[in-house]
Structure 1
């Protein structure tokens, strides 16, 4: 039996005397109080609320710090900050789309809201949970700092010291800073909008003193699918992580009612276990079967929906549940173009996946960072396979050990949150990183870390390739270490025109599945003309027609494609005043929600592949 790794993310707690805690998973399946809604704000480009005039961090009791309550008791009192109408922002949400003053803003914004508690149980523990804050967050409650976090697309939580909580009028402040820095992940240079703010859900979680922080349930990685189906006997493996103060006699109960499974696990057994079940339906795009799961411990029950499946490679093929699959994919940015904003809720996820289903795709590449948990959970229920990626992008500092540790932290946070999502089949450690020995060692370290955290999924990274009319030879040394060789190719858009694809062929240095992780061309929606005129829908259509012809000549390890991209998205790099206007126009759907001509071309290609599979 392979070792089942317990994933424990340690977050630094800055409040004296508080123990470090791990990331608490599946917030929706626990008792919590939503702190979404209207928050007050202060724009603070000079970080006056954080540093004094000598540019030193203000001390905790400094009344001029913006985490303090602005209280004016007498007329002569000097108060230089405040949180009140009409300065409000909606959480979750990016600040850029909520007021013109924020459109291009990069810097610090202070968020504040007050909340009451229906009941304050001193025998319970309370945690503040943030789905994501871009990029750096400092969290204060009732004028005390309880923690900080870096990383714009992954969750974090802090325990709230019991003595800080009040039944009424809790004063919560979050300093949010989205400035770009060379030593961060991602770095200063990206091709997407740097949406700032508290972009995902915020909640106060209520838990007993001892509780299950995290858990893993999955089909055993050693499963022989054909034999299991023949004998109607499947093995599920897993682990539970209870907090360190748990009693040595702790017992965790696991129940999967539909499988008629119920078992009690002692503390000695919860770090690694296996059990057998019968009549298990495996998760797949054709049958996205999810099972209701209940985990009970210390009078606290967690509910989840989990699917079981096996993803692997065999030579040049990708196998799902023992059968060869072709990934009919599409890349997605976490944006709602019609509203020019970051996607933030279940309704947004439904809109994006509605387009995906209409395209007849069975897979999405969630680029270039972990998307909202709403996306992976909806993908579970819809049967859409997912590539999930950390923002190791282009030109980060590959020589820096500190940067590597930041990348590993974001990798761990991504895997911790979504390791129970059957839809996630590929963890990606980066995109279009320049080839060098230093970079390859950096990326190899991330790949090794990924496999240590989760050995049940494929690992990849989107590589670049030189554009060649006759032969594209993929030999990036990173391909030696990934499970599939993934390549971004734009022959016919960058360098030459689409007819350059007519005689172009592919060869890979590695005996592994080949996945085209990006390909595409720009077109402004509603702009029509000759097919050789750039930016027209006809040009983009021509590009896709030639691409598909080239795909039909691919070698036998060709296993899928995820063109770039589902919808137009905002990018400060795209500045043509007529055709771009701050938008990357490679979307198959424009910024008004209209399908471009190329959408139909890809849709028909995927229909053809699906029909041929069924023959």
Structure 2
């Protein structure tokens, strides 16, 4: 169960850390096979006076670094980098480095407001992480975009404590994502690091689910405890709604409460009115507070409904990236994204192709923007490998349990552009869809798929459609093939599965002008947007769209004279300058298509 940290008081470990690149992977136990003392421990070569001069202790041992020896690393004096950060952006000479990097910092125990138990929590480390505290190994984590934590209650020492982290941002054939992606591999401690202290038995996480009826709104609250004591009283409070109810234990070991309201007694969350209510859960001496919205998302025929009312998703897709900063967004960066999203008159955004910072979903709650969130099951995943399948489930679980209380999150996506002719993929992805529903069946399950051109028109032949609530279609008519308005030939079924055009568009370099027939010009891209939006609005089964993409982003495979390492399909460039397509899309959305 994901550790709930956001509403809790915590001690931030953000700030200056020391980074040490380890391209040859030498600093972790490398010399153990060469030099051992009589006890089998790491030894050291003596100097002329018989004193150790060169330490063979591994880098995670605090005593292995210092100023009195000639060890080839020093965790107290490496490259100074900020955390959170994409470390190659912090140190330009390592911008393209992929491999092991060690991070270290110290903190004083007296600075922590300790309770009975303390956890060390990382918001995200790309891609693999292994962590030590005071030389004691805490554990490891794989996956570059989701949070993880370790209990450190027994490892904390009085006075100075030393954290050492090994980050590995290599690309792996059996990883998720695997070796090939169409985005840049920003390595680093890309999100915040915190120490979180809690009572011996505490609220590990909770979930709020809403069912909307004609006259009533039913709310179920579930909570999970961690610890030996299960005898204290648990409660849920919604001050603005006059609720103060006990949580009761059920047969699954969860604490739960079921609440019911007259529909007129509360305001449902929606893009038009993103109303949030304060909620507090308490157990013994532990308490967590949050702000949640009550709403229901469902499908009826080819329509997507919010609180029983049809909505057409006016969206945009985006990556998590800032020029010069990589994937380490701050609050100002998040706000800038929502300024663009709101200026486009969007009510929807696709957070591609991996979990973005939690602050995006929390801000979307406030702004009334529905979200598509996904894990990086992208292109050629080794679906048949059982370890890969377990990693797949882990990443889904970590994302869902982090964001399942965000009213803005409407769709969980399980894959992007995977081969629908792959029989193994067609066996595994339906299982992942059901796994998502087992964690959270209050949202819609989707995936970004392909459409096929036939003599009868454009159709979806992906067998995964039968297991999805909403089908995403990635298509680039007018750019890679065909004409921009070819989606008018989609063989739509008004009673079929809702379709969201999850990607469409074309490339343009900002400031490059010409005619609508000149590729890579703003005019060419704008013409694609005019054709695509008109075709989408005319199709009954299309329930929305999220064109590709909000802003230009780093992509190593894109190297022609217009791109130079950037995917130029943004309606804004990487510096925030709007292209003509931005205004075409804004004008289309402000005309309220299908509403």
**TM-score, structure 2 as length reference:** 0.92
Per the alignment, do residues 154 and 503 of structure 1 end up closer, same or farther by CA in structure 2, a change over 3 Å counting?
A: closer
Cross-structure match for 2:203: 212
Alignment partner, residue 150 of structure 1: 142
Q: Deviations along 1:572-610, whole A, 9 cap, x unmatched?
A: 11011x200100000000122100000000001101126
**SS at the partner of 2:581?**
helix
Q: Which moved more, 1:269-278 or 1:100-109?
A: 269-278
Q: Check if 1:474 corresponds to 2:460.
A: yes
What are the residue-to-residue correspondences of 1:479-518 with 2, within 5 Å? 479-496=465-482, 498=484, 501=486, 504-507=489-492, 511-518=496-503
* Superposition map of 1:51-450 within 5 A: 51-53=29-31, 63-70=56-63, 77-85=69-77, 87-118=79-110, 124-162=116-154, 164-220=155-211, 223-224=212-213, 226-228=214-216, 234-247=217-230, 249-268=231-250, 270-278=254-262, 279-337=265-323, 339=324, 341-435=326-420, 436-450=422-436
Matched-pair contact (CA < 8 Å) for 1:60–1:144: no
For 1:219 and 1:56, how far apart are their aligned partners in 2? 61
Q: Deviation at 1:183?
A: 0.6
Cα deviation, residue 84, structure 1: 4.3
Q: Which residue of 1 aligns with 2:519?
A: 534
1:489 and 1:519 in contact (8 A); partners too: yes
Using the alignment, how far apart are the partners of 2:30 and 2:332 within structure 1?
A: 43
- What per-residue deviation string (whole Å, max 9, x for no partner) do you get for residues 203-247 of structure 1? 000111110001111213xx42x232xxxxx22102110114123
| Number of aligned residue pairs | 575
Q: Go from structure 1 to structure 2 and tell me whether the alpha carbon gap of 1:389 and 1:73 turns closer, same or farther (over 3 Å shift).
A: closer
Deviates more, 1:236-245 or 1:388-397: 236-245
Q: Deviations over 1:56-99 (max 9, x none)?
A: 99999675311122557895x44221034561111111112112
1:282 Cα deviation from its structure 2 partner: 0.5
Structure 2 equivalent of residue 520 of structure 1:
505
Preserved contact between residue 475 and residue 504 of structure 2 (Cα < 8 Å): yes
Find the aligned partners of 1:138 and 1:182 in 2 and give their Cα distance: 20
* Matches of 2:35 and 2:432, distance apart in 1: 34
Aligned 8 A contact 1:467 1:495 in 2: no
Distance 1:68 1:461, change over 3 A: same
How many Å apart are 1:117 and its aligned residue?
Answer: 2.6
Which of residues 563, 588, 592 is equivalent to 1:609?
592
Tell me if the contact between 2:235 and 2:282 (Cα under 8 Å) persists in the aligned partners. Answer: yes
Q: Would the aligned equivalents of 1:343 and 1:349 in 2 still touch at CA under 8 Å?
A: no
- 8 Å CA contact 2:572, 2:579 repeated in 1: yes
The CA deviation string for residues 344-383 of structure 1, in whole angstroms up to 9 with x for no partner, is 2222111111110011000000001111000000000110
Q: Report the counterpart of residue 19 of structure 1 in structure 2.
A: none
CA contact (8 A) 1:447 1:482 kept: yes
Which runs of no fewer than 5 residues in structure 1 stay unpaired? 1-7, 9-22, 229-233
Structure 1 distance, partners of 2:66, 2:569, is 57
The alignment's C-alpha RMSD in Å is 2.3
Q: Which of 553, 560, 572 in structure 2 is aligned with 1:569?
A: 553
Aligned to 2:530: 545
Between the aligned partners of 1:427 and 1:351, the Cα distance in structure 2 is 24
Q: Distance in 2 between matches of 1:176 and 1:55?
A: 23
Matching residue of 2:49: none
Distance 1:216 1:81, change over 3 A: same
C-alpha contact 1:119 1:167 (8 A) present in aligned 2: no
Separation in 2, partners of 1:534, 1:57: 62
Name the CA distance, whole Å, in 1 between partners of 2:162 and 2:286: 28
Distance 1:238 1:302 in 2: 13
Contact 1:529 1:538 in 2 (8 A): yes
Query: Out of 555, 574, 586, which is 2:569 matched to?
Result: 586
> Matches of 1:551 and 1:308 in 2, distance apart?
30
**1: CA distance between counterparts of 2:112 and 2:215?**
53
Q: Scaled by the length of structure 1, what TM-score is found?
A: 0.89
State the secondary structure of the residue aligned to 1:83: coil
Say if 1:479 and 1:510, in contact at 8 Å, map to a contact too: no
Do the aligned residues in 1 keep the contact of 2:14 with 2:193 (CA within 8 Å)?
A: yes
- CA 1:509/1:384 → structure 2, altered by over 3 Å: closer, same or farther? closer
Distance 1:205 1:340, change over 3 A: closer
Deviation, structure 1 residue 501: 3.0
Q: Which residue of 1 aligns with 2:3?
A: 24
Q: Distance in 1 between matches of 2:41 and 2:466?
A: 51
Give the direction of change, closer, same or farther, for the CA distance of 1:140–1:502 in structure 2 (3 Å limit).
closer
In the TM superposition, what is the alpha-carbon distance from 1:547 to its structure 2 partner?
0.9
Provide the rounded CA distance (Å) in 2 between the counterparts of 1:396 and 1:427: 18
Residue deviations 1:241-291 (CA, integer Å, cap 9, x gap): 0114123x2221211100010012244585343122341210001110110
* Aligned position for 2:51: none
Deviations 1:380-420 (A, max 9, x none): 01100000001000001122121111101100001000000
Relative to 1, partners in 2 of residues 1:538 and 1:264: Cα closer, same or farther, differing over 3 Å?
same
Which is worse superposed, 259-268 or 285-294?
Answer: 259-268
Match of 1:41 in 2: 19
CA contact (8 A) 1:120 1:167 kept: no
CA distance in 2 between partners of 1:589 and 1:119 (Å): 44
**Given that residues 350 and 372 in structure 2 are in contact (C-alpha distance below 8 angstroms), is that contact kept between their aligned partners in structure 1?**
yes
